[in-house]
DNA sequence: CTGAAAGCGCTTACAG
DNA sequence: CTGAAAGCGCTTACAG
C-alpha cells in the first residue's frame, strides 16, 4: 500500500515542460540556467500544490551524496557521547544532513564493522571516537575521499582532523592542586583502554608528581574496565585506601569517580580518614557526594560543534590543513 | 577523488555473465532461481576478491526500502532516551538496519518537521515519543504505509502500536507508600508538557489520595518546564516546603527530583524537617542524595527492545492487531 | 531559454 | 538455467 509517490515527471507532465527544467528550478538553479521568472514561479507553485518532494535516494544515486553523517562512539547511552551526539545533530539538521550512529563499546571489532557498514551506506562524512584498532580503516576511508574527524582521542601517525580536550594539562592541574593541598600519596584509577586520552591523563599525572619530586608508584595505579566496572572500581578504591594508604585518588572520568566516590564518602563519614578526589570531567552529581573534590570539566557541546564544523569544512573542501583542535578544560575546585 | 567504485557490472563483465545472475546470487536467491552451484560459488568468490558491496542507494531507489529506521525523542542527550536509543541501535544493526535520530525538545513544530524530514528521507519505520501536536502527521505516515511505534506516551483516539510504562499504577504505589509512611500532605512537581505520561501520573497521584480520603489540593501541585528548569524546580520545592508545609514531594521524573532533592537534602540536614521524596524513574544518583525516597524504575532498555520488535513485526506485516505494551515499573523503597 | 537523452547501480518481470 | 531490457527518480552534459 502507500499513497502515490509524486516525481519530477508529474510536474513536468502537468505543466507540459521537460523534467530538466523542473529539476533546475527545484534546485534553485533557475537564474543560473536562465529559466524565465514566470516559468520558475509556475513550477514552484505546482510543486507546492501537489506536494512534490525530491526522492533523496535518486539524488544520492545520481550525485553520490547521501546527506548523511556517521557518528561512531563508544556508547551512545553514555552522557558524554549523547551530549556530543545532540550538538552534532543540531548542526547537521540545520544544514540538511541527518546523522546515523553506532556504538563500538570500545571494541575494535565492532568499531571496524561500523566503519565498514557506514562506508557501505555511503556516508558523506564520519565523526568517530576511535579504538586503537581503527587506524587502517580510517586511513582507507580518507583515501576513498570521505572526510573524517576524530573526537576524544587520535592517532599520532596519521593525518586527520580532530577535536580533543587538553588531557595532559587538565590532569596536571588537578593533581598539582591535590598535592598543594597537602596530599602526598595520590592514587590513580584509570581505564584499561589504550587511547591518547588515557595516555595523556597518565602523563599529566606523572608531570605533576615530578614537579613536586614525588616518585611515580605503579602500586597505586589501578586499571578498571571501561564498562560494568563497579566491582573493580570499588575494590580498587578500598585497596588504595586500606592497603596503600593513599591521601587522595584521581579518577579517569566521572563515571568511575561516582562509583569510587561512594566508598570514599563512607570512609570520610566515619571520620576514619579524609580522602580527597580528583576527577577528569565532572557532573552535577559529583557534588551530591559531599566529598572534597577537584574536577576538570570538558566542553562537551563544543567538542560536537567543532567536530561537525571541521567535517563540513572538509566536505566543502575548504579545509586545506589538518586541524587539531585542543579544547581547554575548566577546573571546579571543591577541596 | 575517491577510489573506483565497483558495481554488479564489474563482476558480470569479469565473469562473462549477466548482471541479473550476479544480482540473484548476491541476494541469496541462487537456489530459488536455480543458478548452478558452481556458478554461484564463482560469483561469490569474485565478489569477495574485488570487494564488491551493493550500492544501497540504488537498491533503495529500486526497492523503495532504505533499511533506515527513524527515532524521534524529546532529547537524545537525556539519558532516558539515549538508553532507549542504544537498545534500538543494537536490534537494528543486528537486522541490517541503521538508525537516524532527531530531538524535538518537546516542541510540536520541531517534532512535525522531523517527521516530515524523515518521511522525505524514506525511512522504513519510525519510533517516536510524540508531542501532542504530532497526531495528524503520524496518521498520515501510517496511511503512507510506514510502520510507527509510539514510546512513552500515546494518543487515545488513533490506532498505533506503542510501548509505555505503567504510569498510573507506578505513581499510585509510590504515593500510597508515602501516605502509609505517615505523610499527609504530599506535593507534586510535574512537567508542563501535555502527554499521556503526565496525565496518568497525575491520575495515579489522585487515585492514591482518594483511597486514603486525602483531598486533592491544586495549591501543592507545581508545573515546571521540561528543560532548563532548575530555578523553577528549586523555587517550587521551597514554596511547597516553606509556605505549603508539605510532608513529602512526588517528582515527575528523576531529573527534576535531583534538582529538587538538593534543596530537600539541605532542609533535612539542618534538622528543620524530614521531607521524603517520591519519584517516577530512578537513577543511581538519587541514592547519593541521602534523602529518604521511593522511586518507580522504568524498564528503559525493554522499552527500546519492545518498540523495535513491534516495528519489525509491522514491517514484515506480521502484526495484525494493534499492540499496546504496558511495561511494569519496579519500586525502590528507601524510606 | 528549453528538451531529449544518458546514466547513477540496482532488481525483476519477461523471454528464451 | 541464463540474458537483455525496463525502470526506480533523479541530474547534467549536450544539442538546439
Nearest to B77 among A2, A85, A144 (CB): A85
* Model confidence at B256: pLDDT above 80: yes
> Are residue B178 and residue B80 in the same domain, yes or no?
no
Q: How confident is the model at residue B334, as a pLDDT?
A: 94
- pLDDT classification of A4: cutoffs 50, 70, 90: low
Q: How confident is the model at residue A332, as a pLDDT?
A: 95
- List, for residues A200-231, the tens digit of each pLDDT value: 999 999 999 999 999 999 999 999 998 889 99
- List, for residues A77-112, the tens digit of each pLDDT value: 999 999 999 999 999 999 999 999 999 999 999 999
Tell me the β-bridge partners of B278: B250, B294
Domain that holds residue B28: 8-54
**Residue corresponding to grid cell 521531607:** B275
> Are residue A137 and residue A286 in the same domain, yes or no?
no
Beta-carbon separation of A79 and B76 below 8 A: no
* Model confidence at B283: pLDDT above 60: yes
Q: How confident is the model at residue B1, as a pLDDT?
A: 36
Give me the helices (H) in A98-193, please. Answer: 108-120, 135-143, 167-180
Distance from C-alpha of A275 to C-alpha of A182, rounded to nearest angstrom: 11
> Are residue A159 and residue A304 in the same domain, yes or no?
yes
Nearest to B99 among A90, A101, A288 (CB): A101
Q: Which of A57, A65, A87 to mutate to test the interface with B (most CBs of B within 10 A)?
A: A57
- State mean pLDDT over A155-161: 96
> Are residue A180 and residue A283 in the same domain, yes or no?
yes
Distance from C-alpha of A299 to C-alpha of A306, rounded to nearest angstrom: 10
- Please provide the average confidence, as pLDDT, over all residues in chain A: 93
Q: How confident is the model at residue B4, as a pLDDT?
A: 61
State how many domains chain A has: 3
Q: Is residue B115 part of a domain?
A: yes
Burial class of residue B133 in the structure, from the number of CB atoms within 10 Å of its CB (0-12 exposed, 13-18 middle, 19+ buried) = middle
Q: How confident is the model at residue B235, as a pLDDT?
A: 96
> Are residue B183 and residue B238 in the same domain, yes or no?
yes
Q: Is residue B60 part of a domain?
A: no
- The better pLDDT of the pair B111, A318 is held by B111
* Model confidence at B105: pLDDT above 90: yes
Query: Structure pTM?
Result: 0.94
3-state helix, strand, coil in chain B (%, to 5): 50, 15, 35
Q: How confident is the model at residue B322, as a pLDDT?
A: 92
- List, for residues B2-23, the tens digit of each pLDDT value: 446 788 888 888 888 888 888 9
> Are residue A212 and residue A278 in the same domain, yes or no?
yes
- pLDDT classification of B31: cutoffs 50, 70, 90: confident
> Are residue A160 and residue A304 in the same domain, yes or no?
yes
* Cβ neighbours of residue B66 closer than 8 Å, sequence gap 6 or more: A57, B56, B60, B121, B122, B123, B124
Task: Report the chain A residue with the minimal C-alpha distance to residue B113.
Answer: A93
- pLDDT classification of B101: cutoffs 50, 70, 90: very high
Beta-carbon separation of A99 and B101 below 8 A: yes
Q: For the domain that residue B142 is a member of, what is the CATH number? A: 3.40.50.2300
**Residue corresponding to grid cell 530537600:** B264
> Are residue A203 and residue A284 in the same domain, yes or no?
yes
- List, for residues B44-64, the tens digit of each pLDDT value: 888 888 888 899 999 999 999
Q: For the domain that residue B39 is a member of, what is the CATH number? A: 1.10.260
- List, for residues A267-292, the tens digit of each pLDDT value: 998 987 899 999 998 877 888 888 99
> Are residue B222 and residue B278 in the same domain, yes or no?
yes
> Are residue B76 and residue B151 in the same domain, yes or no?
yes
> Are residue B157 and residue B304 in the same domain, yes or no?
yes
> First-to-last CA distance in chain A?
65
Q: Is residue B97 part of a domain?
A: yes
Q: How confident is the model at residue A34, as a pLDDT?
A: 79
- List, for residues B62-91, the tens digit of each pLDDT value: 999 999 999 999 999 999 999 999 999 999
Give yes or no for CB of A34 within 7 Å of strand C: yes
Q: How confident is the model at residue B205, as a pLDDT?
A: 98
B114 and B105 Cβ atoms separated by less than 8 Å:
no
Q: Is residue A207 part of a domain?
A: yes
Poorest-confidence range of A177-186, B28-37, B270-279? B28-37
Q: Is residue B335 part of a domain?
A: no
> Are residue A308 and residue A266 in the same domain, yes or no?
no
Nearest to B57 among A60, A93, A146 (CB): A60
Give yes or no for CB of A27 within 7 Å of strand C: no
Taking C1' of D9 and every protein CA, the nearest residue is A58
Q: Is residue B59 part of a domain?
A: no
Beta-carbon separation of A61 and B58 below 8 A: yes
Tell me the β-bridge partners of B324: B162
Amino acid at each position: 500500500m502507500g499513497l502515490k509517490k509524486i516525481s519530477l515527471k508529474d510536474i513536468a507532465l502537468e505543466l507540459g515542460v521537460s523534467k530538466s527544467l523542473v529539476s533546475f528550478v527545484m534546485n534553485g538553479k533557475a537564474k543560473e540556467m536562465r529559466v524565465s521568472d514566470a516559468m520558475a514561479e509556475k513550477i514552484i507553485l505546482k510543486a507546492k500544490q501537489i506536494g512534490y518532494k525530491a526522492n533523496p535516494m535518486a539524488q544520492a544515486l545520481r550525485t553520490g551524496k547521501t546527506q548523511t553523517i556517521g557518528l561512531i562512539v563508544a556508547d551512545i547511552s553514555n552522557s558524554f557521547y549523547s551530549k556530543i551526539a545532540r550538538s552534532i545533530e543540531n548542526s547537521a539538521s540545520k544544514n540538511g544532513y541527518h546523522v546515523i550512529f553506532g556504538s563500538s563499546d570500545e571494541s575494535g571489532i565492532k568499531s571496524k564493522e561500523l566503519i565498514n557498514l557506514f562506508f557501505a551506506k555511503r556516508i558523506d562524512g564520519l565523526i568517530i571516537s576511535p579504538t586503537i584498532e581503527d587506524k587502517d580503516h580510517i586511513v582507507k576511508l580518507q583515501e576513498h575521499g570521505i572526510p573524517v574527524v576524530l573526537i576524544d582521542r587520535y592517532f599520532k601517525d596519521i593525518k586527520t582532523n580532530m577535536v580533543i580536550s587538553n588531557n595532559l594539562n587538565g590532569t596536571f592541574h588537578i593533581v598539582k592542586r591535590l598535592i598543594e593541598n597537602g596530599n602526598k600519596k595520590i592514587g590513580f584509577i584509570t581505564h584499561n583502554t589504550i587511547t591518547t586520552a588515557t595516555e595523556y591523563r597518565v602523563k599529566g599525572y606523572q608531570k605533576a608528581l615530578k614537579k613536586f619530586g614525588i616518585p611515580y608508584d605503579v602500586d597505586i595505579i589501578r586499571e578498571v574496565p571501561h564498562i560494568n566496572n563497579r566491582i573493580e572500581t570499588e575494590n580498587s578504591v578500598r585497596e588504595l585506601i586500606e592497603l596503600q594508604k593513599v591521601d587522595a585518588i584521581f579518577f579517569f572520568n566521572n563515571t568511575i569517580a561516582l562509583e569510587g566516590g561512594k566508598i570514599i564518602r563512607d570512609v570520610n563519614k566515619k571520620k576514619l580518614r579524609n580522602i580527597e578526589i580528583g576527577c577528569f570531567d565532572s557532573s552535577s552529581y559529583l557534588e551530591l557526594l559531599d566529598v572534597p573534590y577537584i574536577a576538570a570539566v570538558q566542553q562537551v557541546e563544543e567538542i560536537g560543534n567543532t567536530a561537525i564544523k571541521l567535517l563540513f569544512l572538509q566536505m566543502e573542501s575548504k579545509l586545506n590543513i589538518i586541524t587539531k583542535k585542543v579544547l581547554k578544560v575548566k577546573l571546579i575546585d571543591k577541596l
